Structure 1
Amino acid sequence: MCRNIHTLHNFEPAASNDEIHAAALQYVRKIAGTTKPSKANQAAFDHAVAEIAHITGHLLEDLVATVPPKNREVEAEKARARAVASGRYAPRVAQAS
């Protein structure tokens, strides 16, 4: 599936509407096979994004977590460390002026 869609459930603070919309947009882009629909398909594309974002918001509200919420900054740091360890990215080094 889309690597750019991140888990939105059980984080503190909760996922914002912008994050939900971004995930819906990535999903629709993947399904449609395009990042920029034609003018003829723009309305259908936008409608799908809005509907998926709406239902995703309901899903996140309805899900029950059995573990405490995760901290976004801690999880982001873990992801960066995994990426560096895998060799996908080099660690960022501050440049001297």
Structure 2
Amino acid sequence: MCRNIKTLFNFEPPATELEIRDASLQFVRKLSGFNRPSQANEAAFDKAVEEVAQAARVLISSLVTTAPPRDREVEAEKAKARSAARFGT
């Protein structure tokens, strides 16, 4: 999975539209192999990003859990600790 695609479900505050769009953009980039599409493919690329973002919104709003919402700062600290353990920095 692309490292830049972050988990968006069950956070307080909830995922923003920008976070959903950024994750969708990364997903479409990964699938297409394009970081930036050519002019000939730009419309299809942009349409795919919007459709993936819409599907992500529907998914996130449909999911349920009994777990308490996660805190973004706590999760970021955990990720830093995992990185330090992995890379020794």
The TM tier, using the shorter chain, reads over 0.9
Q: After the TM superposition, which segments of 4 or more aligned residues of structure 1 sit over 2 Å from their partners? A: none
Please give the alpha-carbon distance, in whole angstroms, between the structure 2 residues aligned to 1:36 and 1:19: 19
Per-residue deviation, 1:2: 1.1
AA aligned opposite 1:7? T
- Other-structure match for 1:38: 38
Could you tell me the TM-score, scaled by structure 2's length?
Answer: 0.96
The residue correspondences of 1:1-97 to structure 2 (distance < 5 A) are 1-87=1-87, 90=89
Give ranges in structure 1 of 5+ residues lacking alignment.
Answer: 91-97
Larger Rg: 1
Per-residue deviation, 1:32: 0.3
C-alpha deviations, 1:37-60, integer Å up to 9, x for none? 010000000000011101101110
Give ranges in structure 2 of 5+ residues lacking alignment.
Answer: none
Per-residue deviation, 1:3: 1.4
Secondary structure (helix, strand or coil) at the match of 1:50 reads helix
Please give the alpha-carbon distance, in whole angstroms, between the structure 1 residues aligned to 2:77 and 2:48: 33
Superposed CA RMSD in Å reads 0.9
- Other-structure match for 1:95: none
Greater fraction of residues in helix: 2
AA aligned opposite 1:85? A
Per-residue deviation, 1:27: 0.3
Secondary structure (helix, strand or coil) at the match of 1:19 reads helix
Could you tell me the TM-score, scaled by structure 1's length?
Answer: 0.88
Per-residue deviation, 1:65: 1.1
Please give the alpha-carbon distance, in whole angstroms, between the structure 1 residues aligned to 2:32 and 2:87: 31
Aligned residues: 89
